[in-house]
Amino acid sequence: MQSFRTEIENPVVEKDILELEQKIRQFKEGNLDEEKFRSLRLARGVYGQRQQGVQMIRIKLPYGKLTSKQLHRISDVSDEYSTGRLHITTRQDVQIHYVDLDRTPELWAALEKDAVTLREACGNAVRNVTASETAGIDVDEPFDVSPYAEALFKYFLRNPISQEMGRKFKVSFSASAADTGLSYMHDLGFIAKIQNGTKGFKVMIGGGLGSQPRHADVLFEFLASDKIIPLMDGVIRVFDRYGERKSRAKARMKFLLKDLGLEGFKKLLAEEQHAVPYKSIFIDALAYPKIKIASKPVPKVEIKDVHAFEKWKYTNLIEQKQVGYVAIGIKVLLGDFYTDKARLLADLVEKYAAGEIRLSLRQNILIPYVREELIPFFYTELKKLGFGEAGYNTALDITACPGTDTCNLGISSSTGIAKELERVIKAEYPQYISNSDVVIKISGCMNACGQHNMANIGFQGMSIRTKDKLVAPALQVLLGGGNIGNGEGRFADKVVKVPSKRGPEALRLILDDFDANGKGSTYADYYVEKGEHYFYDFLKPLTDIENLTQDDFIDWGTEARYEKAIGIGECAGVVIDLIATLLLESQEKIKNAKEALESDKYSASIYHSYSSMVNTAKAMLTSEKVKVNTHRSIIKDFDEKFVKSGRVLIDGGFDDLALQINQNEPTKEFAEEYLNSALVFLEKVELFRKKELEHV
């Protein structure tokens, strides 16, 4: 692997990219622990694929906004480093697949030329900040949440308090009480409100999906907009210090809220307020970039199929609050589209709209600021690109994660069954092409990247085993989920598990029943009315696995017999001195603390010093085979194991030393003092470790 120089003007970004290249080299040379390398790689958007030897790259696009120029850049990068396919995720990101690990630094450098980042797109950090795709144009919004989502994204990008948490942290912004940002299933969710003339948000905390979905709690009915970043700063600090680290399955914010209770969490949040560097951060919405709408003359077009055009207008046009404009929804099958079409789409919106697109939580594309007189022209142009299908955000518009196509964790195919279900709806239930009250979502495993457990009708990839120990792909059928609004939602019930090849028949029974008995209600309300047992009774016959055919052992979209296998897709590690690696990391954190202090970033310096101390304590506990979990337990256990026994001398104890962080304002004086304490602590531990090894 050869070194390279970037052409990035931002020294912070350039340092980040060069560090990735350096760490890849160290890992391949056997000088970096696999787990540590994985953590660093993921925090830079590089994710191991199911297929060995290649990576998935996740491109972070705050609140799904993408300019025409950026779409061109992403397309160029995909062609150069990948396969030319772009995949829209349910978190408004773009993913490209089959990338060589060695080429990821130069790929990242190419993206940054147009201010597109990979930073913290994966890993145990603050993930992409999502928002309603209609933000800024929503007819019901009290104000545009885009400037607030942008400000929050920038504040936490590379912020030391959120780089090495126990698990990922997800944030959303909803434009209105309709809660299209789905606040109730996020670690932190913000719903736009105005109270007494002040802009602010209803704040939800501790929601999540996965195998154990949890509805978020209301943290504030109203919080002024200048308080949202300080609030999240404190929330992240509590999560980082008290969040689970040993068991990944229990390391999300929702479990911490469940364990502590809302009042217990608020108490810890109050204890962190000394450390939060800003008590108020004014977000100047007026400084947010203004929309520039193209004014080209309206091209003349002839609509040949008027019926299809009217059907498309009914499902794919979204009213804007700006008079004379509409937004156009593009239904993107499985969220996949290709660079040749992407470039033409970018040119179209640059020449005739506002030069931007929005990626949606349902893996679609929205084009805002289309002049009403241009609707026929856009329809004909989108048809040429294969983007003119009706059914945007309707029952036909099925959300699905990549599943076993590329994901390490996929159990059964989600894309294959999604294609088949769309075929069934088109052919047999055309009335659902325009029905926006039925939401169908599919995930390839329990982790819910396809958000199956918040759907009206959801499917989760599983497997089943016959009496003869044969394994076949299966689907868990979930029913009754949905977004109620204003921070309230329902999670779907697990009703039955059926062989995957019976998924279409399950959908037929569900829709036939709804058509016959729904009586004009929404599907979510209909499910509540009937109850789980009602649906179990008519779906139960599909669960019989006594007479499976050969076809039942072949998953959708494949021809080979099914084998349950969770892909590895990660480079093999080597045996190294983990303790030495951890102590080396502590030295790097001290260096980061010094650099931050020199740049007058006192809060950042303090957190780097804190991270160094906890990491150093973790190293020594690991050397003693003591299980390390939360930061709080590491601090406590180090005191018990090393300080009270007199093996490492610390006046007042390690607890008092480390937790000065939440007892002092982030001043220059404290940052200097705390950095010196961290350095002295590291030196003491390294000396202790050296003497200990000499007697081995």
- Within this chain, do residues 532 and 656 fall inside the same structural domain, yes or no? no
pLDDT higher for 466 or 505? Answer: 505
Q: Report the alpha-carbon angle 478-480-485, nearest 5.
A: 130
pLDDT digits (tens, 9 = 90+) for 486-515: 999 999 999 999 999 999 999 999 999 999
Residue at which a domain ends, from 249, 283, 317: 283
CATH number of the domain bearing residue 681:
1.20.120.330
pLDDT(250) > 90:
no
The predicted pLDDT at position 537 comes to: 96
In a domain, 345, yes or no: yes
Find the mean pLDDT for residues 547-556. Answer: 89
| 150 and 198 belong to one structural domain | yes
In this predicted structure, the answer to whether residue 670 has a pLDDT above a threshold of 50 is yes
Of the pLDDT bands very low, low, confident and very high (cuts 50, 70, 90), residue 177 is: very high
What is the number of other CB atoms lying within 10 angstroms of the CB of residue 122? 26
Could you tell me the pLDDT band of residue 574, with boundaries at 50, 70 and 90?
A: very low
Model pLDDT, residue 144: 98
Mean pLDDT of 453-468: 90
- Same domain membership, residue 69 and residue 39: yes
Residues 547 and 609 in one domain: no
Say if CB 65 and CB 358 are below 8 A apart. Answer: yes
Question: Taking a C-beta distance cutoff of 8 angstroms, is the pair 203, 128 a contact?
Answer: no
- The answer, yes or no, to whether residue 386 has pLDDT greater than 50, is yes
Instruction: With respect to residue 124, please indicate whether it lies within any of the assigned structural domains.
Output: no
CATH code of residue 451: 3.30.413.10
Q: Is residue 571 domain-resident?
A: no
Mean of pLDDT values over 17-21: 92
| Residue 293 covered by a domain | no
Q: Are residues 434 and 536 in the same domain?
A: yes
Residue 432, C-beta contacts closer than 8 angstroms, at least 6 positions apart: 394, 395, 396, 425, 438, 511
Greatest Cα pair distance in the chain? 88
**Distance (Å, rounded) from C-alpha 364 to C-alpha 370?**
17
Contact (Cβ atoms closer than 8 angstroms) between residue 658 and residue 648 = no
Give the residue, 468 or 395, on which the prediction is more confident. Answer: 395
- Tell me, yes or no, whether 32 lies in a domain: yes
The DSSP element (H or E) to which 654 belongs, if any, is helix 654-658
What pLDDT sits at residue 381? 97
Same-domain status, 250 and 206: yes
The CATH number of the domain where 64 resides is what? Answer: 3.90.480.20
pLDDT band of residue 231 (cuts 50, 70, 90) is: very high
Domain of residue 33, residue span:
11-112
Is residue 573 scored above 60 in pLDDT? no
Runs of H (alpha helix) within 552-653: 578-598, 602-623, 631-638
Per-residue pLDDT for 408 more than 80?
A: no
Tell whether 389 is covered by a domain. no
The answer on pLDDT for 9 being more than 80 is no
pTM: 0.91
Looking at residue 577, its pLDDT comes to: 57
Query: So what's the pLDDT on residue 57?
Result: 95
* 412 and 370 in a common domain: no
538 and 603 belong to one structural domain = no
For residue 575, pLDDT beyond 70 = no
CATH assignment of the domain containing 340: 3.30.70.3340
3 pLDDT more than 60 = no
Work out how many domains the chain is built from and give that number: 5
Beta strands per DSSP E along 243-398: 317-319, 325-330, 336-338, 356-359, 365-371
Supply the pLDDT for residue 576.
39
Asked if residue 137 and residue 90 are part of one domain, the reply reads no
Q: Is residue 392, in this structure, part of any structural domain at all?
A: no
567 confidence band (pLDDT: 50, 70, 90) = very low
pLDDT at 468: 80
Average pLDDT over residues 300-310: 94
Using 50, 70 and 90 to split pLDDT, how confident is the model at 565? low
- Does 190 share its domain with 277? yes
The pLDDT of residue 654: 96
What is the number of other CB atoms lying within 10 angstroms of the CB of residue 510? 22
pLDDT at 628: 87
Whether 269 maps to a domain, the answer reads yes
**Distance (Å, rounded) from C-alpha 581 to C-alpha 575?**
11
pLDDT tens-digit profile of 115-129?
999 999 998 999 999
Q: Is the dihedral of CA 333, 335, 340, 345 positive or negative?
A: positive
Instruction: List CB contacts of 205: < 8 A, sequence separation 6 or more.
Output: 187, 188, 189, 216, 217, 219, 235, 253, 257, 262, 265
Decide: 148 and 231 in contact? Cβ < 8 Å.
Answer: no
As a whole number, the mean pLDDT across the chain is 92
Please indicate, yes or no, whether residues 278 and 351 belong to a single structural domain of this protein: no
- One-letter amino acid for residue 171 of the chain: V
Is the pLDDT at 362 greater than 80? The verdict is: yes
408 lies in the same domain as 548: yes
- 528 Cβ neighbours under 8 A, 6+ residues apart: 480, 490
The residue among 11 and 264 whose pLDDT is bigger is 264
Q: What is the mean pLDDT of residues 193-202?
A: 98
In tens, the pLDDT along 40-75 reads 888 889 998 888 889 999 999 999 999 999 999 999
Q: Does residue 568 have a pLDDT over 70?
A: no
